[in-house]
Structure 1
Amino acid sequence: MRAFLGMGLLGSNFTKALINKGEQVQVWNRTTSRATALEAFGAKAFTNVADAVKGADYVHIVVKDDAAVNEVLAAAAPGFKPGTVIIDHTTTTVEGAVARTKEWKDKGFTYLHAPVFMGPGNALDSSGYMLVSGDQAVVNKLEPVLAPMTGKLLNFGEETGKAAAMKLVGNSFLICLTAGLTDMLSVGKALGVNGDDILTLLADWNPGMGVTSRLKRILSAPYDDPSWELNMARKDAGIFIDSTAKAGTNLNVIPVVAQVMDEWIAKGFGNKDWTVISKDVV
């Protein structure tokens, strides 16, 4: 039997998916109504979190952050039976994941951090990606429990906290991607290009296909063999900034990148590949 703590969009859909697979699931949420709403799908809801975990072999949790995980697990602990396994799907700090792994092991329980790249729809249809790392004996033992919940279980090896780090790295890309798309729409608006026009462009010219090759280029540091000189990239950034300023639209990312470009040009790298702006972090 499983308990699931946190009935937000992910938690509620994970619960529905588990029930659809024939699992018995007990649920809890700080706002009780979100938990009781899952009773219509076959879950058993509790107002007290310690009661919700009683009898559970596996306690899943997905809440806001480290503080919330710590608070909820501390409140739930009186209900844990010997051998209870805690599986935490919350996006947290690396330090928090490492500390909880040790803390709960010292208390006689198994804790595994298993964050996800999954939206609510993925949680419901068991697609997307789930990340794990740490003690490989624990990971291997729990793989049959976790694999049916996701499209792919990604194991990042022995390092405790590595899954948390990989989740945060991935989310940093998603944040930059969305901010970049927002700037692209702003430039388009300034130039009389609407969103449908941009979708038409991307349907044929799909820069997403080049993300891996671009990262490989950055990591190989080919600054003396430019495919796009920094001076030329900065020239284009200037056009974006000027065009949106005239049109009264806003840019979130490009002005910051332009400032970084200016710093590297001032250092004498203007005729190098524009990926030189990543030189200090490679």
Structure 2
Amino acid sequence: MRAFLGMGLLGSNFTKALIKKGEQVQVWNRTTSRATAMEAFGAKAFANVADAVKGADYVHIVVKDDAAVNEVLAAAQPGLKPGAVIIDHTTTTVEGAKARTKEWKEKEFTYQHAPVFMGPGNALESTGYMLVSGDVAVLSNLELVLAPMTGKLVNFGNEVGKAAAMKLVGNSFLICLTAGLTDMLSVGKALGVNGDDILTLLGDWNPGLSVTSRLKRMLSAPYDEPSWELNMARKDAGLFMDATASAGTNLNVIPVVAKVMDEWIDKGFGNKDWTVISKDVL
């Protein structure tokens, strides 16, 4: 039997999916009405978190942050079954994941951090990606428990906290991607290009296919063999900023990148590949 703590968009859909797979699930949420709403799908709701975890072999949790995880698990502890496994899907700090792994092992429970690249639809359909790392024996035992919940269970090895780090790295890309698309739409608006036009462009020219090759190029640092000179990239950034300034639209990312470009040009790297702006972080 499983318990699921946190009935937000992910937690509620994970619960529905587990019930469809024949699992018995007990649920809790800080706002009790969200937990009781899950009874219509076959879950058993509890107002007290310690009651919700009683008898559960696996206790899943997905809440806001480290502080919320710590608070909820502390409240749940009196009801935990001896030897219960805590599986935390919350996006947290690396330090928090490491500390909880150690703390709960000392309390004779297993804590496994398993953050996800999964939206609500993925949780319901058991698709997307779930990340794990840590004790090899623990992960071996949990594979059959976690794999059916996701499209792919990705194991990053025996380093505790590595999954937390990879989740944060991935989310940083997603934030930059959305901010970059916002700038793209802003430039398009300034130039009379609408969203449908941009979708057509991306349908034929998919820059997403070049992400891996671009990263490989950055890691190998072939700055003396430019595919796009920094001076030329900076010139284009100026065109974007001029167009949006004239049209009165806003840019979130490009002005910041342009400033970094200027710093590298001032250092004498203008004729190098523009990926030289990543040099200091490699």
Q: Aligned runs of 1:199-210 on 2, under 5 Å?
A: 199-210=199-210
Q: How does 1:39-50 map to 2 (within 5 A)?
A: 39-50=39-50
User: 1:231-266 deviations in whole A, cap 9, x for unaligned?
Assistant: 000000000001000000000000000000000000
CA apart distance, 1:81: 1.1
Alignment correspondent of 1:258: 258
**Local SS of the residue matching 1:75:** helix
What secondary structure, in the 3-state scheme, does the structure 2 residue paired with 1:26 have?
A: strand
Alpha-carbon RMSD across the aligned residues, in angstroms, is 0.3
Q: List alignment gaps of at least 5 residues for structure 1.
A: none
Q: What residue number does 1:12 align with?
A: 12
Could you say which residue in structure 1 is the equivalent of 2:276? Answer: 276
Counterpart of 2:134 in structure 1 is 134
Alpha-carbon distance between aligned partners in 2 of 1:81 and 1:4, rounded to the nearest angstrom: 14
Secondary structure at the counterpart of residue 87 of structure 2: strand
Structure 2 CA distance, aligned partners of 1:140 and 1:177?
A: 34
How many Å apart are 1:217 and its aligned residue? 0.4
Letter paired with 2:34: R
List structure 1 runs of 4+ shifted beyond 3 angstroms: none
**How far apart are the structure 2 equivalents of 1:280 and 1:231?**
18
Question: What CA deviation, in whole Å up to 9, does each residue of 1:130-177 have, x standing for no partner?
Answer: 000000100010000000000000000010000000000000000000
Match of 2:53 in 1: 53
Name the aligned partner's letter for residue 91 of structure 2: T
Distance 1:214 1:137 in 2: 36
TM-superposition CA deviations, 1:152-203 (whole Å, max 9, x none): 0000001000000000000000000000000000000000000000000000
CA–CA distance in 1 between the matches of 2:136 and 2:233? 45
Q: Give the gaps of 5 or more residues in structure 2.
A: none
| Counterpart-to-counterpart distance in 1, 2:19 and 2:50 | 21
Shift of 1:13: 0.1
Structure 1 residue 277: Cα displacement: 0.0
Q: Distance in 2 between matches of 1:211 and 1:81?
A: 46
Following the alignment from structure 1 to structure 2, what is the Cα–Cα distance between the partners of residues 174 and 137? 32
Q: Deviations for 1:65-103, whole angstroms, at most 9, x for unmatched residues? A: 000000000000000011100000000000000000000
TM-score by length of 2: 1.00
Sequence identity (%): 89
Q: Give the deviation of 1:34 after TM superposition.
A: 0.3
Q: Tell me which amino acid in the other structure corresponds to 2:201.
A: L
2-side partners of 1:111 and 1:22: how far apart? 24
What are the Cα deviations for residues 95-132 of structure 1, in whole angstroms up to 9, with x where unaligned? Answer: 00000000000000000000000000000000000000
Partner of 2:148: 148
Q: Residue type of the partner of 2:26?
A: Q
Match of 1:231 in 2: 231
Task: Give the secondary-structure state (helix, strand or coil) at the position aligned to 1:82.
Answer: coil
Query: What is the correspondence of 1:1-282 to structure 2 with a 5 Å cutoff?
Result: 1-282=1-282
